[in-house]
A and B are shown apart, each in its own frame.
Chain A
């Protein structure tokens, strides 16, 4: 298994540009999430999905859109990039969200985004 993969690894955008961060997992996990991590900070939840066609907002959803058309993929779209969105973005997946062993989240390697 490749686990959780993210592309691109690095990206530089200009203010106002849009782009999509890709995330895929091959573990047949129902639950997928996007986090952002600013320098010296913990991870903050942006959006998550509990299955194909179902998404919900996390702690910091503004400026981001998500959709989940397949179990494997969970792209994150930046609609109009702003310097405040400069961060490292991590995608994660898990078997469940209900606590216990199935709640273990597997993380991708991250996408480092800079918005000028």
Chain B
């Protein structure tokens, strides 16, 4: 079993739609959680950290469920510019483990 698992997608959604991604992790001792965004042929960039109580950043909402060992990302009112691959990242003591990413394509 992979340490961090994501549905690779692709998720094709119309502009304005709401889309959600989930990610599961296997190490219950994981301490920090993040969502990164990666555009085609670019480096991954931090989208947002994920807090235990859930957190929101504009159209983006992240949730953490430690009991079930998954994190989620919700994107409301999708824009064309949201098209990218979203990487779930789980951190243990010092190492960051990346999921393989979920590809999102927002259609006009």
Tell whether A and B belong to one assembly. no
Which residues of chain A have a CB within 8 Å of any CB of chain B? none
Which residues of chain B have a CB within 8 Å of any CB of chain A? none
